[in-house]
């Protein structure tokens, strides 16, 4: 008599995805190109040296372990290419300031500053940055010269030494920069002027600090790294985030094959115009540089099998 014993085993899905490109040890640079400047990764389409960047506006240079965008001459602090929103964090100059002159003379005012990134693929993001003014009796304004929209805020005086980074009108104010997805800040003007506010006794309170400042700053950096906005009075630069786009390029021009890890497509930047660009992203579970062929890497193990053993007794 034969007895058939069937033993069935099943290997179930095992999924494991690395969470950072550092763990995967994947270079973000084009093959044969410099991958790091100091501790900052240099992702294609940016690069250092001939044939390492997609066009001249993405050319970079490394000086004393500091990374710079050649075209707009700003120092780069960090970069993002893996998925939307894609950005470059730069060391952005304080845009406008006004300080009292010596010996009772008139204010030394640098109260109006214009910024023009026309011809570059970069804009100051209105969603990733915040417009800040620090000081006493400030009226700060930033105007988007593309669509004419303006954002402004006013500070009033308080001589109290107690302060934090709340920045809601007492010695410091903040507002969202003008702009949107279609009209981020590419060409804009910043103006800073004094106003008079009065305390309960009817006089103008003495300012806690004599100077006024206005600037665009990375809102996450401002929120999590700056406990006292008045510390900015000793700084010439603050971090800010630029969006970047591959304008007027088709995704086919990037030479990215279809594969599981990433994808490229076409994005329209203004629905009422013909401004478009190529955009790439890593798929969920993959990390790396989607702008390189097979640049998004992940570790997926999928196994499923049935093993049958027949034993005849």
In a domain? residue 54: yes
234 φ, ψ (degrees, to nearest 5)? -100, 10
Confidence (pLDDT) at 224: 84
**Cβ burial 116-146 (10 Å sphere, 16+ → b, else e):** ebeebbbbbbbebbbbbbbbbbbbbbbbbbb
141 shares a domain with 212? yes
Question: Which of 14-28, 89-103, 174-188 has the highest mean predicted lDDT (pLDDT)?
Answer: 174-188
In a domain? residue 262: yes
Mean pLDDT of 229-253: 84
220 shares a domain with 190? yes
Confidence (pLDDT) at 111: 56
Q: How far, in Å, CA of 169 to CA of 180, rounded? A: 24
Mean pLDDT of 53-73: 95
130 shares a domain with 51? no
> What's the mean per-residue pLDDT of the chain?
78
* Contact in structure between 135 and 215 (CB atoms under 8 Å): no
263 shares a domain with 219? no
Residue 134, pLDDT > 80, answer: yes
Higher pLDDT, 279 or 268: 279
* Contact in structure between 31 and 25 (CB atoms under 8 Å): no
* CB within 8 Å of 31: residues ≥ 6 apart: none
Question: Which of 75-89, 149-163, 266-280 has the highest mean predicted lDDT (pLDDT)?
Answer: 75-89
In a domain? residue 2: no
Q: How far, in Å, CA of 170 to CA of 299, rounded? A: 51
- Please report which confidence band the pLDDT of residue 309 belongs to, taking 50, 70 and 90 as the band edges: very low
From the list 312, 309, 286, 283, the residue with the least C-alpha distance to 297 is 286
Name the percent of the chain lying above pLDDT 90: 38
268 shares a domain with 147? no
From the list 88, 72, 92, the residue with the least C-alpha distance to 80 is 88
Q: How far, in Å, CA of 27 to CA of 71, rounded? A: 24
239 shares a domain with 95? yes
138 shares a domain with 253? no
282 shares a domain with 175? no
Mean pLDDT of 186-202: 72
In a domain? residue 307: no
237 shares a domain with 95? yes
Spacing of C-alpha 20 from chain mean position: 18
Give the count of domains, the chain.
Answer: 2
Confidence (pLDDT) at 240: 94
Q: How far, in Å, CA of 53 to CA of 47, rounded? A: 4
In a domain? residue 8: no
Mean pLDDT of 170-175: 87
Of 244, 262, 281, the residue at which a domain comes to its end is 244
171 shares a domain with 240? yes
Q: Dihedral through CA 18, CA 19, CA 21, CA 23, nearest 10?
A: -60
Mean pLDDT of 277-300: 89
In a domain? residue 275: yes
Residue 312, pLDDT > 50, answer: no
- Please report which confidence band the pLDDT of residue 109 belongs to, taking 50, 70 and 90 as the band edges: low
Query: Whole domain around residue 271: which residue ranges?
Result: 14-86+245-301
As a whole number of Å, the end-to-end CA separation of the chain is 7
Mean pLDDT of 55-68: 96
In a domain? residue 306: no
Residue 120, pLDDT > 80, answer: yes
* Contact in structure between 214 and 147 (CB atoms under 8 Å): no
Q: Residue 92 in 3-state DSSP?
A: strand
Angle subtended at Cα 83 by Cα 79 and Cα 84, rounded to the nearest 5 degrees: 90
Confidence (pLDDT) at 138: 83
Of 210, 228, 244, the residue at which a domain comes to its end is 244
In a domain? residue 199: yes
Q: Is 25 left (phi over 0), alpha (psi -120 to 50) or beta?
A: left
184 shares a domain with 105? yes
Mean pLDDT of 112-139: 86
From the list 123, 104, 107, the residue with the least C-alpha distance to 115 is 123
pTM of the model: 0.79
Q: Dihedral through CA 158, CA 161, CA 166, CA 171, nearest 10?
A: 30
Residue where the block lists tokens 């009422």: 272
96 shares a domain with 236? yes
Mean pLDDT of 164-181: 80
From the list 145, 176, 154, 162, the residue with the least C-alpha distance to 208 is 162
* CB within 8 Å of 30: residues ≥ 6 apart: 44, 47, 51, 52, 292
Residue 305, pLDDT > 60, answer: no
């Amino acid at each position: 008599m034969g007895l058939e014993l069937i033993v069935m085993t099943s290997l179930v899905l095992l999924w494991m995805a690395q969470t950072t490109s550092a763990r995967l040890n994947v270079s973000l640079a084009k093959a044969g190109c410099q991958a790091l400047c100091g501790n900052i990764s240099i992702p294609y389409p940016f690069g250092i040296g001939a044939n390492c960047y997609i066009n001249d506006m993405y050319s970079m240079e490394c000086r004393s372990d500091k990374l710079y965008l050649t075209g707009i001459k700003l120092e780069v602090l960090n970069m993002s290419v893996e998925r939307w929103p894609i950005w470059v964090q730069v060391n952005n100059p304080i845009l406008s300031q006004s300080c009292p002159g010596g010996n009772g003379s008139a204010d030394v005012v640098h109260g109006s500053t214009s910024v023009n990134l026309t011809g570059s693929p970069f804009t100051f993001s209105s969603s990733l940055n915040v417009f800040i003014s620090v000081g006493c009796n400030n009226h700060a304004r930033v105007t988007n010269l593309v669509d004419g929209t303006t954002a402004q805020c006013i500070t009033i005086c308080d001589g109290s030494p107690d302060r934090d980074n709340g920045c809601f009108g007492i010695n410091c104010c903040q507002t969202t920069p003008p702009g949107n997805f279609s009209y981020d800040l590419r060409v804009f003007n910043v103006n800073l002027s004094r106003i008079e506010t009065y305390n309960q006794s009817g006089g103008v309170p003495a300012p806690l600090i004599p100077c006024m400042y206005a600037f665009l700053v990375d809102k996450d950096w401002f929120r999590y790294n700056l406990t006292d906005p008045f510390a900015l009075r000793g700084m010439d630069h603050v971090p800010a985030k630029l969006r970047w786009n591959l304008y007027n390029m088709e995704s086919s021009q990037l030479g990215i094959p279809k594969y599981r890890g990433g994808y490229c497509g076409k994005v329209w930047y203004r629905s009422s115009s013909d401004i478009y660009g190529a955009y790439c992203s890593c798929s969920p579970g993959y990390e790396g540089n989607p702008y390189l062929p097979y640049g998004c890497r992940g570790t997926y193990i999928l196994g499923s099998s049935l093993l049958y053993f027949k034993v005849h007794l």
